[in-house]
């Protein structure tokens, strides 16, 4: 374990002000948070190429902001806010996504494996409206509490919980024929 | 979105671990008689488990990491086998070949060639010593392409090419003036080891050879006094000597394929000089050759070469003067361009230029074995760590004497490898040059 690995996020963000330690501190912070931010971008956007761009842009903006003298008390939340804003901008600038009513997943016999089920789940996730999808991703992929989700998404804790539960129920509803099929084969 | 029914809401809250005890009782009571609710619980657990597995696999690629660090102006780290971003552009053939020609390994091969030339006159053991010395020097210099400054030679840059210089004792290695640089240190070590081996190992056999030569001299003297012109005599079973007023050419000697031969040249009155290493040849030869090649795929990345790259060694057995078979092994960089997918099913075009060890069976056809200069064809069918490999070379060989052969040829080779079910070829073209020593 390196010396930097023992430091807190806050201490590392302070070291970003020091040019001689900036790179090492950033690499350490990047290693800690890249998975959560990447998972958020990929699953919220459902577009790997766009997610890759936004993921990188998130850390570039974080680096630019952190180089200044400001102290960050919650690096994870700061990164997520940047990523979320970029994702919202991308959503605003992109074509509207299909709604559940005008989208139908073609049914075909399944090769039963976790990768196939995952593909179906991610497809179903893309069919949710943005708020529900985001709340679901923050809960399931980033492991955030409902209170944290509420703070990030500017809503109430109750509303955040409701969004997550509805997203879960909707995903199950979309996948119902497939899940029944899987159930018969297991 | 639709509002959840009461029990579904309880179910998801239960899965979150936030359900109050009294609500749990209500939920479990409902689960006991509601098949749909039980199915919903089962599906929710399956979805949660699948997502938990997925979240652990969602990582940005190494290429993404490096691209980000590059944007931030950080130094790139080595990621030898990770997908790398494509770089448009062309490679410069001249600089590519120049860099290879000036590599320490190539320089050492050239140095070895000159040593070999000297060593031919001293016998096969000396050749092996020279080979070992060259390889040792190359190993000591494996970092290569090092900038050197200093010394009395106003040498500003050293790119690995070391002109071979023959010293007084005939076994000097390449030098760079009196500059106290790492090369000189390496050179000194090699020189010392070489001399030690020569004195302690090779020269142990000298008295016996001298005795043989002296015996030979006396016999020659007797026979030349009795005959005029050419005559032949036998000295035990494995030696014969021909006394010739005129000098024997190497071509004539080379035509005595695998035959015991001994030549004595009558240089002046009753003076005969013994030629080197005239024992019977076994048909086995050992070769070392350098490879200068360029990928026929339009490579845009520099090769990641490791010592000893672009070098091959082989052992051949002569089935006849024209046909030889054997084994050959080497190390060479091959450019690869293939497609792969990451955990998110994102397809990457990967370009890399790693170095592979290869080994294979070799066949050589020499068109004119009696001639000192002969066309030849050489093919190798073998394998690398990742797949098959084939090589074919045509060129010319020069045989100055019975033991030594220098060769130069044009070579085509290709690596065959697989990625995610698809097969790829990585062809190369280039020049190969080297030496072969018969035993």
Residues B243 and B273: their CA atoms lie apart, in Å, by 10
Chain B interface, mutation test: which of A63, A165, A184, most B Cβ atoms within 10 Å?
Answer: A165
Please give, one letter per residue, the 3-state secondary structure of B292-357: EEEECCCCCCCCCCCCCCCEEEEEEEECCCCEEEEEEEEEEECCEEEEEECCCCCEEEEEECCEEE
B8 close to A (CB below 8 A): yes
What's the pLDDT score for residue B117?
62
Among the partner-chain residues A35, A43, A132, the one whose CB lies closest to the CB of B59 is A35
What's the pLDDT score for residue A126?
84
DSSP 3-state assignment of B65? helix
A171 close to B (CB below 8 A): yes
> Domain A4-93 is of which CATH architecture?
Orthogonal Bundle (1.10)
Distances from the Cα of A87 to the Cα of A18, B63, B270, B345, angstroms: 30, 22, 99, 21
Look at residues A116, A130, A163 and name the one whose alpha carbon lies nearest to residue A40.
A130
CB B160 within 8 A of CB B145: yes
In the numeric block, the tokens 């099929």 are attached to A181
CATH no. of A116-185: 1.10.10.10
Count the Cβ atoms, other than its own, within 10 Å of residue A110: 15
CB B263 within 8 A of CB B275: yes
Q: Which residues of B touch A162 (CB under 8 A)?
A: 4
Distances from the Cα of B242 to the Cα of B122, B248, B263, angstroms: 20, 9, 5
Residues B206 and A7: their CA atoms lie apart, in Å, by 71
Crossing angle (nearest 10°) for helices A130-140 and B35-55: 70
User: So where are chain A's domains?
Assistant: 4-93, 116-185
Residues B128 and B287: their CA atoms lie apart, in Å, by 11
Q: Tens digits of per-residue pLDDT, B154-208?
A: 323 233 332 322 233 333 333 333 333 445 455 555 665 666 555 555 555 555 5
pTM of the model: 0.41
What's the pLDDT score for residue B131?
66
Q: Tens digits of per-residue pLDDT, B93-132?
A: 444 444 444 454 555 566 666 666 655 555 555 566 666 6
ipTM: 0.76
Look at residues B366, B439, B433 and name the one whose alpha carbon lies nearest to residue B403.
B439
Look at residues B273, B275, B266 and name the one whose alpha carbon lies nearest to residue B225.
B266
> Which residues numbered 318-377 in B keep a CB inside 8 Å of some CB on A?
344, 346
B280 close to A (CB below 8 A): no
Residues B200 and A5: their CA atoms lie apart, in Å, by 57
DSSP A89-156: HHHHHSPPPPPGGG--PPP-----SHHHHHHHHHHHHHHS-HHHHHHHHHHHTS---HHHHHHHHTS-
């Amino acid at each position: 374990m390196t010396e930097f690995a023992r430091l807190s996020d806050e201490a590392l963000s302070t070291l970003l002000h020091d040019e001689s330690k900036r790179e090492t501190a950033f690499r350490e912070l990047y290693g800690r948070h890249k998975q959560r931010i990447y998972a958020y971008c990929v699953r919220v956007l459902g577009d790997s190429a766009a997610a890759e761009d936004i993921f990188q842009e998130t850390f570039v903006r974080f680096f630019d902001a952190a180089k200044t003298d400001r102290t960050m008390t919650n690096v994870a939340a700061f990164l997520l806010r940047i990523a979320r804003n970029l994702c919202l901008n991308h959503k605003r600038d992109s074509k509207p996504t299909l709604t559940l009513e005008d989208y139908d997943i073609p049914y075909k016999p399944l090769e039963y494996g976790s990768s196939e089920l995952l593909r179906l789940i991610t497809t179903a996730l893309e069919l949710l409206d943005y708020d529900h999808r985001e709340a679901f991703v923050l809960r399931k992929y980033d492991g955030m509490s409902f209170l944290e989700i509420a703070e990030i998404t500017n809503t109430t804790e109750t509303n955040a919980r409701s969004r997550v539960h509805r997203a879960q129920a909707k995903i199950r509803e979309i996948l119902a024929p497939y899940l029944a099929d899987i159930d018969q084969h297991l | 979105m639709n509002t959840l029914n009461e029990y579904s809401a309880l179910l998801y809250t239960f899965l979150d671990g936030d359900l109050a005890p009294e609500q749990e009782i209500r939920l479990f009571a409902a689960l006991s008689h509601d098949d749909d609710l039980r199915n919903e619980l089962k599906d929710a657990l399956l979805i949660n488990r699948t997502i938990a597995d997925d979240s652990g696999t969602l990582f940005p690629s190494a290429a993404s990491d490096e691209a980000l660090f590059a944007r931030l102006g950080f130094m790139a780290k080595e990621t030898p086998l990770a997908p790398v971003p494509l770089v448009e552009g062309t490679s410069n053939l001249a600089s590519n070949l120049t860099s290879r020609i000036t590599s320490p390994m190539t320089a050492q091969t050239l140095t070895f060639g000159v040593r070999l030339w000297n060593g031919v006159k001293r016998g096969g053991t000396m050749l092996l010593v020279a080979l070992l010395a060259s390889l040792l020097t190359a190993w000591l210099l494996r970092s290569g392409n090092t900038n050197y400054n200093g010394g009395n030679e106003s040498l500003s840059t050293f790119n690995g090419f070391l002109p071979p210089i023959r010293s007084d004792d005939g076994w000097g290695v390449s030098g760079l003036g009196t500059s106290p640089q790492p090369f000189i240190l390496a050179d000194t070590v090699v020189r010392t080891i070489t001399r030690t081996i020569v004195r302690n190992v090779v020269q142990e056999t000298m008295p016996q050879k001298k005795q043989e030569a002296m015996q030979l001299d006396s016999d020659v003297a007797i026979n030349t006094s009795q005959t005029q012109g050419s005559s032949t005599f036998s000295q035990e079973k494995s030696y014969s000597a021909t006394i010739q007023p005129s000098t024997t050419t190497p071509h004539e000697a080379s035509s005595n394929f695998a035959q015991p031969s001994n030549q004595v040249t009558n240089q002046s009155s009753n003076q005969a000089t013994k030629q080197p290493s005239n024992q019977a040849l076994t048909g086995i030869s050992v070769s070392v050759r350098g490879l200068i090649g360029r990928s026929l795929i339009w490579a845009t990345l520099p090769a990641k070469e490791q010592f000893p790259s672009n070098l091959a060694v082989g052992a051949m057995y002569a089935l006849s003067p024209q046909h030889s078979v054997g084994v050959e092994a080497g190390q060479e960089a091959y450019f690869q361009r293939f497609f792969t997918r990451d955990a998110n099913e994102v397809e990457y075009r990967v370009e890399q230029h790693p170095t592979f060890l290869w080994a294979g069976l070799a066949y050589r056809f020499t068109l004119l074995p009696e001639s000192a200069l002969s066309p030849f064809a050489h093919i190798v069918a073998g394998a690398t760590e990742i797949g098959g490999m084939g090589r074919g070379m045509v060129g010319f060989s020069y045989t100055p004497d019975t033991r030594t052969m220098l060769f130069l040829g044009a070579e085509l080779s290709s690596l065959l490898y697989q990625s995610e079910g698809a097969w790829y070829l990585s062809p190369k073209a280039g020049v190969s040059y080297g030496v072969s020593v018969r035993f």
